Amino acid sequence: MALPFVSIIIPTYNEEMRISRTLDTVVEYVRYKGYSSEVLVADDGSKDKTALLVEASARRYEEVRLIRLDHRGKGSAVKCGMLEAEGQYRFLADADLSMNIENLERFLPPSLTDYDIAVGSREAPGARRFHEPISRHFMGRVFNWMVRLLAVKGLSDTQCGFKCFEAWAAEALFPLQRSQGFGFDVEILFLAQRLGMRTKEVPIDWYYNEGSKVRPIKDSFLMMNDLLSVRWNSMMNRYGSLSRESRIPRSTVYDCGGSPDNMDEPD
């Protein structure tokens, strides 16, 4: 059987209020575009009806599949989803679709070519933000300044929840990921630069949605801790030998259970 053109990975935690609508929107769009696709919902141990609603969507749509996980953090859910996926391109999307799914084609051929990772950006020329509180925007810019200083050079927006990976890049990067919380983006992009991967920023229209799972004060602290951990792990050689050949074989089975020692998602 041919592999999907695109896998869409959606990490979730207590998203019962919007996950059904999100899946309806995503499936309608990929069918309209004619993409061969799979939609993987990596559920981070939700305590509400999220998993049940995804299962109901999976009965309606053959593209949808639920991955049930213990509650360990968004980073852990993304890692599992990326390594379970089989698409030629693996697109990470937030459950609130703060970026309209119609922007997806900006990340894929023929609109975008010659890259290993396409990073959705709210800061690149042509990007637009809507309804974002000034305080949150300011905190995001301060964090990005720290990221560029300590870990990831040249990217104006590392934390946007919409990114696309070529299959080989996902299979090289995500087995190396150690962060299980919101700081995983920085770690993955840091490793990508160390591996010499081609990264492109894609300007998007981004809408701030109420009900975001990000807690500005606590999660800013946790992400800063993750940022420093990336530098420390690199200094201690905990990522091993970084080369373009450091990918896991397709036959390797990844344990999605992970380690429970960094449960920094909101309760």
Helix axes 74-84, 184-194, angle to 10 degrees: 50
The CATH class for the domain spanning 6-235 reads alpha beta
121's enclosing H/E stretch is: strand 117-121
In the chain, domain spans:
6-235
Q: Residues 10-20: what's their mean pLDDT?
A: 97
The answer to whether the pTM exceeds 0.85 is no
Distance CA 213, CA 143 (A): 18
What's the pLDDT tens digit per position in 174-231?
A: 999 998 887 899 899 989 998 999 999 999 998 887 655 566 556 666 777 778 888 8
Output phi, psi for 10, to 5 deg: -120, 105
Q: What share of the chain is helix, strand, coil (3-state, %, to 5)?
A: 40, 15, 45
Q: Which of 95, 159, 123, 135 is nearest to 216 (CA)?
A: 135
What's the pLDDT tens digit per position in 60-97?
A: 999 999 999 999 999 999 999 999 999 999 999 999 99
